[in-house]
Every structure is written in structure tokens, then in C-alpha cells.
């Protein structure tokens, strides 16, 4: 695999870049500096007995809008909010794309996330406590579904790396496993017994700590709509969309490669890696182009969905492995 890299800041100014970016830049840099201090806090705050006092002292979470990080804007136009929010994959609410109304059954408070497995600190944290301990930012990311449609979304959230640092994985931990809620009352789709609920996804620790890996809590400057996987979903923009587990309740550090939902259902078509490659077709369709939601235009699919510069190093020496499905 010969990969020419170009850093994000070499990209031309784009339709997706708002005028406010550079005005917000100083604020962002200030927040990022503050974040590096804040990121150290949970280590102490999560030790036994200190939880309550830390929570009481924490400021109310600044949900959205978060300042846009200018390192993650792209040349494509943003997909309109209403388009992205009415064409979803969320099988817990049905297998069609128009589940956004059905998804309003999702109850997002109270919401706890269990961090467990091969870590120095197992802990359970409420979503609002988690939000108070991270620095939120906005990133414009491409999203490429394995079904060959794509969109461009302004997600807000925080780097997955922050959460990995809070958990402090042991050397034996090789993968991060992400699990969606299981509740058949709240999600009628989970009564469809032939699916392997709950929805599970996984990445390697190296992938989880890559700068692009993002835990999403908002979209388009607002709190994350339920149909997008509120209150916490993942984004790995160089991978096919099915890797982006929604409405996460458990993040585990494990030694074995997790078997994901789609792999378990149809292992000949969906694998663990799912890195976007226009030249590696799905067994039933080509991946060389994609339909852009909203405009309907077809555009060429890019290697690693256009994120080669950020992720190529993760896969050096793995060219012979099936990292494309
Ligand atoms: N829990 C859960 N997560 C999921 C899915 C799902 O059905 N259930 N679908 C995946 C797929 S295939 C895609 S393309 C994205 C879609 O995200 P969006 O609806 O927010 O655009 O969510 C992913 N995460
Ligand atoms: Mo998808």
C-alpha cells in the first residue's frame, strides 16, 4: 500500500468551513488547553469515595454549540440537518430509513455508561457527569455507509482518546468493545429475535486513540437527536458507518477481537475492520462511488473515505490482512 499523505490544513478553504471558524479559533485553543487540565481530573474524581464531591463541584455541561475544530473541516457541503435526521440506520427502531419518529421512544435520561474490562479503573458514569468532564468541540466529518450513500455532518463531542485515558487500559487490553442499550420496550426493533442484540461494535486500542475517533453528543450545534444515537454514539469517519455504534451503554477493554452485530449476522459480507476502500467491492455491490444524501449526486468514493493522512500509519504492514471489510 503506497500512500501519499496530505495534512488537513493543506486542504483548500471549503464550503463546509464557516466564516466563524477563525474567529472561534482562539477560543478553541483556549478550551483545548483547559481540556488537557480537565482531562486529568477524572483520574482522581473516579477513585472510590470521591465521586459525589467531584460531581457537586462540576459545572453544568455546556452541551452545544461547541466551537468548531478547524482541523476537521472538509471540502464538501454540509448535508442539511433535516436530510441527515430523516434518513437513518438504527435497527433498534426498524430496518427502514425513516425511523426518526419511532426513535423518539428512546429515553436518554437517566443514562449511565459502564466502563469495564481490562482497565485500571472500572467505573460507571452518568452521561451528564461525563459531559462535564470533557471539552466538547465540533467537527465536520464525512460519513460513508457500506450501502454506498454518504453525508457530511457537523458532529459535536469529544475525542474517544479522552475516555480511554480515563479508563487507563492494561497492557493486555487490545480492543475497545462498544455496546448499545438493550431494552425491548424502548426499542421495538429488538423484538426481532433474528438479530443478535444488543448492537455491538469494536475497534483496536490504536484506532480508538487515533485523533479522528470521536464520541458524539451533538449534531449541527444541537444536542444529538435520538435517531442519530443519543446520548452518545461513536464516529470513525474512515470506516463504514456500521462501525459507529449508537446509544452506547457499555465500553469495554478486551483482549479478543469483538464480534460485531453485522459480522455475527452475515460474516461473509461484514467484517471487523470495515475501512473504506473504493476498489474492494461488497460481495453484492460496488464501493467505487456513493450517492450524496440531499443532492442525489454520485461522487467517487475515496480511500479511507478521504482520511488517509490521519490513519494510514494504523495499517502499515497489514496490507495482506482483510482490513477492507
Ligand atoms: N445501535 C446501532 N448503531 C448503529 C446502527 C444500528 O442499526 N444500531 N446502524 C449503523 C449504520 S449502518 C450507520 S450507516 C449509522 C447511521 O447513523 P445515522 O443514522 O446517525 O446517520 O449508524 C450505525 N450505528
Ligand atoms: Mo451503514
The mean of the pLDDT values for the chain is 86
At 65 the pLDDT is 75
For a ligand 1 pocket test, name from 79, 84, 90 the mutation site with the most ligand atoms within 8 angstroms of its C-beta: 90
**Which of the four pLDDT bands, split at 50, 70 and 90, describes residue 12?**
very low
For ligand 1, the distance from its centroid to the CA atom of residue 245, given in whole angstroms, is 6
At 13 the pLDDT is 33
List, chain by chain if needed, residues with CB within 6 Å of any ligand 1 atom: 88-92, 145, 180, 199, 228-229, 241-242, 244-247
At 166 the pLDDT is 97
Taking residues 65-73, report their average pLDDT: 93
At 64 the pLDDT is 52
How is the chain split into domains, by residue range?
Answer: 13-315
Contacts of 202 (CB under 8 A, 6+ apart): 175, 176, 177, 178, 254, 257, 258, 260, 272
Report whether pLDDT(258) > 70.
yes
User: Which residue lies with its CA nearest to atom 6 of ligand 1?
Assistant: 90
For ligand 2, the distance from its centroid to the CA atom of residue 239, given in whole angstroms, is 10
User: Which residue lies with its CA nearest to atom 23 of ligand 1?
Assistant: 242
Q: Does 170 sit behind a cis peptide bond, omega within 30 degrees of 0 on the bond before it?
A: no
The atom number, within ligand 1, closest to the CA of 84 reads: 21
**Which of the four pLDDT bands, split at 50, 70 and 90, describes residue 75?**
confident
**CATH fourth-level superfamily of 13-315:** Oxidoreductase, molybdopterin-binding domain (3.90.420.10)
User: Which residue lies with its CA nearest to atom 10 of ligand 1?
Assistant: 242
Amino acid at each position: 500500500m503506497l500512500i501519499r499523505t496530505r495534512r488537513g490544513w493543506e486542504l483548500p478553504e471549503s464550503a463546509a468551513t464557516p466564516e466563524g471558524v477563525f474567529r472561534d479559533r482562539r477560543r478553541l485553543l483556549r478550551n483545548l488547553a483547559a481540556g488537557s487540565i480537565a482531562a486529568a481530573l477524572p483520574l482522581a474524581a473516579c477513585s472510590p469515595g470521591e465521586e459525589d464531591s467531584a460531581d457537586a463541584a462540576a459545572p453544568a455541561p455546556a452541551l452545544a454549540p461547541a466551537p468548531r475544530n478547524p482541523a476537521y473541516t472538509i471540502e464538501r457541503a454540509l448535508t442539511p440537518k433535516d436530510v441527515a435526521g430523516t434518513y437513518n440506520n438504527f435497527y433498534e427502531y426498524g430496518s427502514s430509513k425513516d425511523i426518526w419518529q419511532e426513535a423518539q421512544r428512546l429515553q436518554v435520561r437517566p443514562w449511565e455508561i459502564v466502563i469495564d474490562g481490562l482497565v485500571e479503573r472500572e467505573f460507571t458514569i452518568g452521561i451528564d457527569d461525563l459531559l462535564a468532564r470533557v471539552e466538547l468541540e465540533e467537527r465536520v466529518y464525512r460519513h460513508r455507509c457500506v450501502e454506498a450513500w454518504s453525508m457530511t455532518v457537523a458532529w459535536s463531542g469529544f475525542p474517544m482518546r479522552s475516555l480511554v485515558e480515563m479508563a487507563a487500559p492494561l497492557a493486555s487490553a487490545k480492543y475497545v468493545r462498544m455496546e448499545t442499550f438493550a431494552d425491548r420496550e424502548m426499542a421495538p426493533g429488538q423484538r426481532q429475535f433474528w438479530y443478535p442484540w444488543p448492537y455491538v461494535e469494536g475497534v483496536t486500542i490504536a484506532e480508538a486513540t487515533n485523533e479522528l475517533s470521536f464520541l458524539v453528543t451533538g449534531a449541527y450545534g444541537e444536542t444529538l437527536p435520538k435517531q442519530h444515537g443519543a446520548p452518545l454514539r461513536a464516529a470513525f469517519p474512515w470506516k463504514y458507518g456500521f462501525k459507529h455504534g449508537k446509544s452506547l451503554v457499555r465500553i469495554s477493554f478486551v483482549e479478543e477481537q469483538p464480534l460485531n452485530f453485522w459480522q455475527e449476522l452475515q460474516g461473509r459480507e461484514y467484517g471487523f475492520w470495515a475501512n473504506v476502500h473504493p476498489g474492494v467491492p461488497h460481495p453484492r455491490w460496488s464501493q467505487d462511488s456513493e450517492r450524496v444524501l440531499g443532492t442525489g449526486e454520485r461522487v467517487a468514493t475515496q480511500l479511507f473515505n478521504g482520511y488517509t493522512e490521519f490513519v494510514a500509519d494504523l495499517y502499515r504492514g497489514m496490507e495482506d490482512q482483510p482490513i477492507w471489510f
